Structure 1
Amino acid sequence: MDHLVVVTGGPGSGKTTLIDHLASLGYARTTEAGRALIRDQREIGGRGLAWRDDDLFAELMLAWEIRTHREAAALPGPVFCDRGVPDVVGYFLLRGLPVPEHVTEAARRFRYHRRVFVAPPWPEVFTGDTERHQSPEEAERTYRAMIEAYPACGYEPVELPRVPVAERARFILSHTSPGTRGH
């Protein structure tokens, strides 16, 4: 699955803005599970929210990421993924909990490009909103959890520079293999 390129990191670090920019250049993309799940669960009055039922939220994220992986794998050319299955591993690490075997198995089976781009905390661009309840401190902890989770799942994390979005996009495109460069 070399054509599936993950962008991960803590909340408010410019991941989705970067992926939106890559999409505007004609690249395929996926949607972040967490934000979509929060919107859906709020809309229906569901309990699958991190602040109501952490375990259910993690299971919903895992199911979302697996489905997203399957859909993205069928697309041609590079697909830029707004997080991936190993983010769920990171979510358990963030919570200080053991990673369930089925989550580890999902991370083993649903693979991405070996290089994963990690957006570091960026206080100057961090903003909260209706879906992002995390503090800058939790954003930092989330970043650290992703830096731990992805190598544990066999990936090479590459930290994104804190530069304007067009430069970040060029950075990603220059650091992926030739098979992921065309669109």
Structure 2
Amino acid sequence: MKNRKIVITGGPGTGKSSIVHQLEAKGEKCLHEISRQVTLEAKKDGIDQLFLEKPLLFSEKLLEGRLNQFEEASQYESDHIFIDRGLPDVVAYMDYFNTAYPPIFHRTCEENRYDLIFILPPWKEIYTSDNERYETFEEALKISSYLYSTYRRYGYDPIEVPKLSVEDRTNFILNKIQK
């Protein structure tokens, strides 16, 4: 199967970026999370925390960026490509924050399907916050439950990645895609 689009998702601070970097180190093609890029662009425009100040605009920009990534992934000549977060993540976060959004969000998720979803469970021992990750661990737990339910609502069966070292988690993912 060509161009399988494989999402790595999970709540904040679950190790997604570390795994994506490890996948790249092993020669895998990966597309990175774009939320920090959206936040930094907004800061250049004078909006300190776009998500907090204008959550719908932030989510629209995320949806657009993730749709662009989805389309970009189709253009690679490879068996698979890993994507740090998928389109349903946007809906999960909007639902978590109880923020209304237009029907195009659902249509975009329904019309653009991924091949596999790997989800990283909350893990208190590795959780840290920073300037772009402002959620507490308790909030990260809730966000994680929204991610699980949102992906299932769109017909996915997310594969939970066990709490292991970055290397072992990466190998778990690579072994699963070979099956």
TM-score by length of 2: 0.92
For structure 2, the residue ranges without an aligned partner over 5 or more in a row are: none
Structure 1 SS opposite 2:72 = helix
Greater shift in the superposed pair: 3-12 or 35-44: 35-44
Q: Matches of residues 1-150 of structure 1 in structure 2 within 5 Å?
A: 3-46=4-47, 49-75=50-76, 76-97=78-99, 100-113=102-115, 115-150=116-151
Per-residue deviation, 1:160: 1.0
TM-score w.r.t. structure 1 length? 0.90
Spell out structure 1 runs of 4+ moving beyond 2 A. 96-100
Output the CA distance in 1 between the equivalents of 2:82 and 2:141. 23
Secondary structure of 1:175 counterpart = helix
Letter in 2 for 1:95: F
Sequence identity, in percent?
31
Gaps of 5+ in 1: 179-183
Tell me, yes or no, if the aligned pair for 2:8 and 2:16 is still in contact at 8 Å. yes
Q: CA RMSD in A?
A: 1.7
Instruction: Answer yes or no: is the 8 Å Cα contact 1:6–1:112 preserved in 2.
Output: yes
Q: CA deviation at 1:44?
A: 2.7
Distance 2:151 2:30 in 1: 20
Name the CA shift for 1:56/1:47 in 2 (closer, same or farther; >3 Å): farther
**Native 8 Å contact 1:93 1:99 kept in 2:** no
